[in-house]
Amino acid sequence: MLEPTAAPAAAAEPAAATAPAVAPAADPARILVVDDDPTVAEVVAGYLDRAGYRVDRAGDGPEALARAAGHRPDLVVLDLMLPGMDGLEVCRRLRGQGPVPVIMLTARGDEDDRVLGLEVGADDYVTKPFSPRELVLRVESVLRRTRPAPAPRPPSAAGLTADPAARRATKDGAELALTLREFDLLAFFLRHPGRAFAREELMREVWGWDFGDLSTVTVHVRRLRGKVEDDPARPRLIQTVWGVGYRFDPAGREAD
């Protein structure tokens, strides 16, 4: 199992000084770290603790599910390569218990494994070896998007509504079971009907990243289509604009 690596710029600094500063919160977020490598888990938990979070740890899937059931975490940092029940199955079962953001840790560099993690509901992934400081920043980024955003009126079109304050999306009045990023992506499309966006733009505007694996956007668009389109194989609402990216068409017209 690969261990996380500290960022080069922090090599000469003591560990306590390297975690990004996070403003103290009256009720700090609870993070569940799931990794069977005690060294990795200790490093990750230490950085998150110094960043101001409450941290629980689990060494395998069953223990992670039991801890999540006892104290629902605000976010889970989940290793893909766990003994017995792997991280993909743990993620599926966590998502079955209710919405919770998941950041997947993987020592694999294969794109298929990253896509699988996103397919089962992970909101982000970090490939080992990684900088613990970067992981803390990813955690902060994901949690920031779970906080209610002020919106006088939830954006809606084509029978779809996304209420940022309630983090609730509906289609024709029926609630949609969306992951964190799927919700953010739908809300963004509803706020910008008729405009074509490149995948790079969507990654920047929805994920808040200036760089990253663009397959993340592709996977989430495909998953979102499966939940909002009448016929996901022939999408009319979230259309592919060849050579550009994607466009939300509230009229649901057949793509050119």
pLDDT digits (tens, 9 = 90+) for 143-165: 987 665 554 577 888 999 999 88
Query: Kindly report the CA angle at 190 between 185 and 192, in degrees rounded to 5?
Result: 95
Predicted local distance difference test score (pLDDT) of residue 109: 60
Nearest one of 156, 139, 134, 124 to 237, comparing CA atoms = 156
Name 84's Cβ contacts closer than 8 Å, sequence gap at least 6. 60, 61, 62
Both tokens of residue 97? 């218990």
What phi and psi, each to the nearest 5 degrees, are found at residue 124? -160, 165
Q: Which domains does the chain have, with CATH numbers?
A: 8-144 (3.40.50.2300), 156-248 (1.10.10.10)
Mean pLDDT of 19-33: 66
> In this predicted model, what pLDDT tens digit does every residue of 163-186 receive, in sequence order?
988 899 999 999 999 999 999 999
C-alpha distances out from residue 108 to 7, 69, 70, 104, 127, Å = 20, 28, 31, 11, 7
Nearest one of 208, 217, 146 to 180, comparing CA atoms = 146
